Amino acid sequence: MRKDDTSMGSDIFTDKKHGKLTYGHIVDTTDYAYWRELANKSPLFAAMKASALHNTSTETCDVMGANALAYILDPANKTRYIDQIRNKLDTRITTMNIAPNASGSSVRSHELFFTLLALDVIRHDLEAEILAKYDSIVKSKIMQLVIGRWDPHGWAMRMLYYKFTGDKDNFLTAKAQWENGLAEHYMPGDGVSPAGNGYCVQRWNSIERSAKNTMLDIMEYMGYHEYYTNPGIIGLKEFIYGYAVSPFGRIILYGDSRDTEAQKAWHVRGDTILSPHIVSAARFSPEAYKYAMWVLREGANINKPTLIGYLSNYIIMAGTAAGNKPLKFDSNDAKLAPSRLFKNYAALITDEQSRDALYLSMLNLTGNTEYHTHYETNALAMAGYGEILLRNAGYDGPNNDINIDGVKATFDFIHSNSESSNTLMINGERHTTKTGDGITEGFIGQDVEYFRGTSSTAIDGTHFRDGIFVQPSNGANGYFIVMDHVTSNSPKGTVNVIWHPNSSNIRVIKNETEYFSEIKVEDGADGPRIYTKNKATLTTLLATPPSSVEIKRTANQARSGYAYAADYIYANYHIIDNKANILTVLFPADKRHPTAHMTRITSEDYTGSEITQKKVVDVALTSSGTSANHYDSKYFQGEDILFRTVSGKFTSYFTKGTFFYNKQKIKIGFEADQTITLYMNHHENNTGMRGIINSEGAKVTFYYPALSTVKLNGDTARVVTSGPNWIQVNIPSGHISIELISQEK
């Protein structure tokens, strides 16, 4: 955003004389005819007009928002609407107490937002002394709003007030302050919110935060075209509706997220949408709009909503007469967001359009943090089969401890102790920073998807956390593998890996190996919040043998009547020669998708698991990646190994390392002179393999029967050297699609 742009002031500010006072404009009267025409010809805008004309609520936002719109759309009865606006000004606004806390300032600001818009449109019908009186009242309240905390509501209202009065210099000063505060709420590069999923979802969709979330649209309406095209804000909108929420529209718990019921990506009253942002996301991007429609349909369960008749809503949906781009929305445009790798967040999602899709995410912030950010570097969260499966702490409000059934979670534990999240620590020491190095590698769009989160500051050492999503394929159900690679600054000690299933009790299937969690409400408990009858479960297999495991207990989800005491897994692993390499399988299931049969694999140099689903057998292995190893007929050197056989036939492999091959009569696999990350899957017609490779540049030899061609990003690669059943090529740095073509008959 431009912080010092003064070039647009003179033509945007239009002075109007009312006695001794000089005023600017917020709402342009030349748009009135266009807006009235929309109300006559569009069912959406006609419904908003009817809502405004027939409002009976006495809430400030309803009175001000509805009557300001009615004043414009029904001018024959404008006296009635002016009287109702003035009555609210003379009572509620005049006596409103602005207090230096969140409820007394940031919540109050939305009433002043609707009030100022209403005063702007009726001022032409007010005597100068009456207008001056209301100006003084509104100004007094706005200037009492807190600045420096809960940004940017206080600066937003100052900015809007200065626009109302035509004070260009103070407007531009407030605009710069507002934008600085706004920028704290999203990561400039990708839009991910450092405040936590629940906090950003709620604040950017609640009518009670209109001074924050609607000011973008009002600024665009007034001619400041800096927000609908801002990459960070576009990313924020896509993040909110596509990735901060589960496939069934409920929030994924990171940061100060109250709980999945209290904080929603919509604000409705029955089938009526109060806050327009979920239906106006198209102003930012087609993707944000499609994801928002998915949340509206699958989360709010509304297929034919109406939009309440507020002036601000009408402005957003109609825009200007000059622009002539009214919005419409249709839940049939809904689309579940696909997997995506942000710089600060990763989300892997089943490649299907279903509210029961599987979802795994990781948070790893690289820059902005604020009060609502938790110590959650490399923390994971999971949803699937219509339920939240793996959760982080959330919170119950500032400085609030939670006590449930004799179990206590202190605010310090919830808000500032990394043990309250699904992450990793060393020697029981909580994270020392809220930031890491981000999502540093990964790929999506394959049957196996992958990301790596890197942390070199939060713990006393370096942590690489690799998340692998084995998508449903070959008739097998999807699941997740987590491989943790730790280099400690101390040669010995303990790595602590923590798992928080969204359930009250954890059942031990095999001590220090396999744990089972049912996502259900136990007898006598109130939570967790359950959304389906799918009977979802989560099995956690500690494939790398821990030195010990503790089942600890905490208190969760205290808001909205779904409080419950919950078990969590605290697994400890020895650090040997400064290193630890740990593999965990997280297998979601429900009544239609059974859990796989999983066994542990151990050797001197690697650990892992065999995961069997009828004819499909996957083998996942982890090691230091510094030595050559083999398992059965597979030879490898790498940190992460995953391969699949179907009915005994080798079909695919994933490797982060320098070589992997199936040592049979004719090898299938690769060797590289540098570490690469590679996924390869057989063509359906067995004429080769295709996949994806990440590298910093490497010379790679590919092995496959009758291999004739290697294609990189669709183009035939130049052959360095070759022989029967193998070809060596140079792989450029980056993210490359790859195809091996065989001439085997």
Instruction: Please answer whether residues 656 and 640 qualify as being in contact, where contact means their C-beta atoms are separated by less than 8 angstroms.
Output: yes
**Residue 684: predicted pLDDT:** 75
**Token pair for residue 51?**
């809502």
Instruction: Please answer whether residues 197 and 257 qualify as being in contact, where contact means their C-beta atoms are separated by less than 8 angstroms.
Output: yes
**Token pair for residue 354?**
């279903």
**Residue 301: predicted pLDDT:** 93
DSSP state of 352: S
**Residue 683: predicted pLDDT:** 85
**Residue 12: predicted pLDDT:** 44
Amino acid letter for position 318: A
Amino acid letter for position 248: F
**Residue 3: predicted pLDDT:** 34
Instruction: Please answer whether residues 253 and 246 qualify as being in contact, where contact means their C-beta atoms are separated by less than 8 angstroms.
Output: no
Instruction: Please answer whether residues 242 and 251 qualify as being in contact, where contact means their C-beta atoms are separated by less than 8 angstroms.
Output: no
Name the region of 139 (left: φ>0; alpha: ψ -120 to 50; beta: rest). Answer: alpha
Question: Which among 326, 324, 352 has a CA at the least distance from the CA of 338?
Answer: 352
Question: How many Å from the N-terminal Cα to the C-terminal Cα in the chain?
Answer: 60
Q: Is there a cis peptide before residue 724, judged by omega within 30 degrees of 0? A: no
Q: 122-181: per-residue pLDDT in tens?
A: 999 999 999 999 999 999 999 999 997 666 899 999 999 999 999 999 999 999 999 998
Residue in this structure with the two tokens 């400085």, named with its chain if needed: 399
**Token pair for residue 702?**
């590919």
Q: How many Cβ atoms sit within 10 Å of the Cβ of residue 28?
A: 15
Instruction: Please answer whether residues 643 and 652 qualify as being in contact, where contact means their C-beta atoms are separated by less than 8 angstroms.
Output: yes
Per DSSP (E only), the strands in 433-578 are: 439-443, 448-455, 461-470, 479-488, 492-499, 506-510, 514-518, 537-542, 548-556, 564-576
Amino acid letter for position 612: T
**Residue 193: predicted pLDDT:** 95
Instruction: Please answer whether residues 188 and 180 qualify as being in contact, where contact means their C-beta atoms are separated by less than 8 angstroms.
Output: no
The whole-angstrom separation of Cα 234 and Cα 215 is 15
The whole-angstrom separation of Cα 350 and Cα 335 is 13
Amino acid letter for position 442: G
C-alpha pair distances (Å), 252 with each of 107, 381, 407, 481: 24, 7, 23, 19
Instruction: Please answer whether residues 453 and 364 qualify as being in contact, where contact means their C-beta atoms are separated by less than 8 angstroms.
Output: yes
Question: Which among 217, 196, 538 has a CA at the least distance from the CA of 379?
Answer: 196
**Residue 9: predicted pLDDT:** 33
The whole-angstrom separation of Cα 329 and Cα 334 is 10
Could you tell me which residues come within 8 angstroms of residue 31 by beta carbon, excluding any fewer than 6 positions away?
318, 320, 321
**Residue 491: predicted pLDDT:** 94
**Residue 304: predicted pLDDT:** 84
Instruction: Please answer whether residues 421 and 498 qualify as being in contact, where contact means their C-beta atoms are separated by less than 8 angstroms.
Output: yes
Helix locations, 622-740, DSSP H: none
The whole-angstrom separation of Cα 554 and Cα 410 is 9
The whole-angstrom separation of Cα 296 and Cα 176 is 33
- CB-based burial, 525-536: b 16+ in 10 Å, e otherwise: bbbbbbbeebeb
Q: What are the average pLDDT values for consecutive 10-residue runs of the chain, which has 745 residues?
A: 33 39 77 98 97 97 98 98 98 95 90 98 96 97 88 92 95 94 88 94 92 93 95 96 98 95 93 93 97 96 91 97 94 97 98 98 94 96 98 94 95 97 98 98 98 97 98 98 97 97 98 98 95 98 98 92 96 97 98 98 97 98 97 96 96 98 92 98 87 97 96 97 97 96 80
Q: 63-99: per-residue pLDDT in tens?
A: 999 999 999 999 999 999 999 999 999 999 999 999 9
Instruction: Please answer whether residues 740 and 704 qualify as being in contact, where contact means their C-beta atoms are separated by less than 8 angstroms.
Output: yes
Instruction: Please answer whether residues 457 and 433 qualify as being in contact, where contact means their C-beta atoms are separated by less than 8 angstroms.
Output: yes
In DSSP terms, 514 is beta-bridged to 510, 541
Instruction: Please answer whether residues 282 and 319 qualify as being in contact, where contact means their C-beta atoms are separated by less than 8 angstroms.
Output: no
The whole-angstrom separation of Cα 258 and Cα 656 is 38
